[in-house]
Amino acid sequence: QQQVKQSPQSLIVQKGGISIINCAYENTAFDYFPWYQQFPGKGPALLIAIRPDVSEKKEGRFTISFNKSAKQFSLHIMDSQPGDSATYFCAASLRTDKLIFGTGTRLQVFP
């Protein structure tokens, strides 16, 4: 019940395209859903986060869509750029409790 399932495992997108990564969770008590971006050899960097009382949040080219009834949330990267090539992790937590991470999606954006 503590798992967060993430798909796809890898994603190849052309420059200017839309990258979409999906996550599903089981524990309905989760109340905080962040997305992290990680480059090789670096720690995860917080990209954007959402709470379950909001269905969508947008920050620049990054948008989180949240479907509480389906227990799913997704990250959309608009106008994807080669610099966006990284591994993306979704996560879920109970307030300041531990973060439960998905398995990651390796995104490659080709020019």
Partner 1 sequence: DAGVTQSPTHLIKTRGQHVTLRCSPISGHKSVSWYQQVLGQGPQFIFQYYEKEERGRGNFPDRFSARQFPNYSSELNVNALLLGDSALYLCASRQGASTEAFFGQGTRLTVV
**Contact residues for partner 1, defined by CB under 8 A:** 6, 32, 34, 36, 41-46, 49, 89, 91, 93, 95-104
- In sequence order, what are the beta bridge partners of 102? none
Q: Which one, 45 or 54, has the nearer CB to partner 1?
A: 45
Considering the complex, state which of residue 80 and residue 88 has its C-beta at the smaller distance from partner 1: 88
Looking at beta carbons only, is 79 or 97 nearer to partner 1?
A: 97
How many residues appear in the chain? 111
> Shortest gap between Cβ of 111 and partner 1 (angstroms)?
26
Q: How far is the CB of 71 from partner 1 (least distance, A)?
A: 18
Pairing of strands 105-110, 19-25: unpaired
